[in-house]
Amino acid sequence: MAKNNKSGPRKPGKLSVYLYIPNIIGYTRVFMNCYAFAICFSNKWLFCALYFISFVCDGVDGWCARKFNQVSTFGAVLDMVTDRISTACLLVILSQVYRPGMVFLSLLALDIASHWLQMYSTFLLGKVSHKDVKDSTNWLFKAYYGNRMFMAYCCVACEVLYITLFLLAKNDAEKLMDVLKASITEGSPISVLVGLSLFGWAIKQLVNVIQMKTAADICVLHDINKKVRP
């Protein structure tokens, strides 16, 4: 009798996962951001163009991952780390050219803390994605992660606001409120851009606060449940 040589689907090797199309896009984003920040003060417009292209590629690699069935945990982590580090670097730069700089450093701390806690609480609950918030009781939190277009608007608005502020800074000691007031009241396309961006930015910061509190509650409940177990 002939032996049955049928076997299950072959597991991909480590190298093949590292070379997934969305992951290659992720590496490109890293190098693009490194170059962009290296020339940020010598060529502001090129920096902003490269930074925004890298940001747009965040959506492109997600589309590629779904299109080519190349969704991976490594890719998701690479995406989040790249996003957080690039935004953090831009916020640090803004903290150096605007006063009070602590505003931007506080936003940096909120962004990292909320996303780190959200990722950790996701693993505690055994979920695959940190965007799975269907069981949340907060309507804004669910709307943000449940509607891809709404989330995209808030994220784009946030990054566009930071890039615009960087371009508007003329020296190393700009007063943030003065620049915002001037850009909103001057009645130019910049006014509309800043106004629309501010709204999306505010929603994203509110979601970050909700996310941080929700994730912290999950971590605390996990600790309580561990203690009550026999």
Residue linked to tokens 């669910």:
142
Residue linked to tokens 């000691």:
173
111 is a catalytic site residue = no
| Burial grade of 211 (CB within 10 A; 0-12, 13-18, 19 or more) | buried
CB atoms within 10 A of CB 126: 6
Instruction: State both tokens at 144.
Output: 């943000």
| Maximum pairwise Cα distance, the chain | 86
C-alpha triplet 199, 122, 74: angle, nearest 5°:
95
Q: Which of the residues 83, 132, 135, 217 is marked catalytic? A: 83
Cα-flanking dihedrals φ and ψ of residue 175, to 5°? -90, 120
Calpha distance 216→129 (Å, rounded)? 17
- Active-site annotation, residues: 83
